[in-house]
Amino acid sequence: MLKAAKLLVVLAFLGGAFLASLDPLLMNWAYFIPVMILGLIGVVITKKADSKAAKDTSRLDVNRRDLSTSLANIVTNLETLNGRKDHIPTYDMRFEIDKLFREDLTKFADARESMKHLFGLQKYADVMSSFASGERYINRVWSASTDGYVDEVLLYVEKALRQFQHARNEFDTALAHVNT
């Protein structure tokens, strides 16, 4: 059903584009409007299916574990990196970041929407606010490493660590409230 709905959206888009290209000055609304309505129906079906899948308990359990594990890994790796940041050449810091964080940042980002269903919007916002700040700081370290800004690399590793620690505390608090 989901594939059919997505196909409907694609076909409606292509059909609408085709109808719009037939005449540069006139639109045949008798054909265009029904094609767009079919596309809208496809979008509604897709959204409902995505919402239903997002609330599936087995998916929520897997995502909760992924969120918890990846956030713990990020904090642990940042603590280690912060402890040895003075010994890593500035230009090599970006390679360390890629090696240590890419997988966990991606895993967390892929599962983050489940926090809305697990904890509610406010707790989601609390976690994601700190997480996003920490992620920006990691990106800043990566950029500063590329540009050779030693002081900025050293400063923002520590700032990223504080933000991710706060995100983990917010996540653990939200998780504790769900489990009680």
Please check the confidence at residue 57 and state whether its pLDDT lies above 90. Answer: no
**What phi, psi does 66 have (nearest 5°)?**
-60, -40
Question: Distance between the two ends of the chain, CA-based, in angstroms?
Answer: 37
Mean pLDDT of all residues in the chain? 92
Please, what are the domains in the chain? 2-54 (no CATH), 57-179 (1.20.120.330)
**What's the token pair of residue 14?**
């292509």
Cα–Cα dist 51/53, whole Å = 5
pTM, two decimal places:
0.75
Separation between Cα atoms, residue 152 and residue 38, nearest integer Å: 52
Over residues 8-53, the pLDDT tens digits come to 999 999 999 999 999 888 998 999 999 999 999 999 999 888 777 7
